[in-house]
A = this chain, B = another copy of it.
């Protein structure tokens, strides 16, 4: 069944007016008619069934029915990722949503060429991925910030998994097995890696866990997906089977 993220409050009987784009998708593309059902979520109230009660050229209207899933949030895992090329960054956002990251923070590093990103487009990709993957929330995509500044203000209680290509570090799985629960983040550098001074600073920070992602050189998107996967498998919501 079609899932849509909406800003509206969701409760039995509540009216919901999808955006013009969503209405077009429901009526013109998916050919829903009056009486058709969809699933709605808003990041706060869980997932609800809703019925199309009006559909015309100006849009459509829905009425919320029963709750299908109560609100639950995944683990408190952020992805901090350097501004890589647009196509790969978009892949990373889509995959981070599927892999359950709660927030996606963009950073500029010394070897990053770009200093901006189209946050609106990345947010749209995150929303579509959340609808498709079955999440009950859409991760926030946070505008780029300089790495040094991000580290200056880093909260002491959030661990940071640093995928360190410089060598001499344990495998990610071994480093995470039995590690402290609580808030975490995964840090992925640009293609070409971190500058040596950035690496040194990271390794010396008390909240950083340096890990290896195997013997081959990984592209940034592969590294992001692999690191989030290992975190979820070792200490996140992949610990329980289905």
Residues of A within 8 A of B (CB): 91, 94-95, 98-100, 132-135, 164-165, 167-174, 212-219, 222, 225-226, 229-230, 232-234, 237-242
Contact = CB atoms under 8 A, between A and B. Distances in A.
29 contacts: A91-B91, A94-B222, A98-B216, A99-B222, A99-B226, A100-B216, A132-B217, A132-B219, A133-B216, A134-B215, A134-B217, A135-B216, A165-B242, A167-B242, A168-B241, A168-B242, A170-B241, A171-B240, A171-B241, A172-B238, A173-B173, A213-B238, A214-B237, A215-B238, A215-B240, A225-B226, A226-B229, A230-B230, A230-B233
Oligomer: number of copies: 2
A100 B238 CA distance: 23
A232 B214 contact: yes
A165 B133 CA distance: 13
A169 B213 contact: no
A183 B238 CA distance: 25
B133 A100 contact: no
A229 B213 CA distance: 9
Residue of A98, A99, A226, A242 ringed by the most chain B CB atoms within 10 A: A242
A216 B169 contact: no
A222 B225 contact: yes
Contacts of A172: 233, 238
Given A95-B222, A168-B242, A215 B237 contact: yes
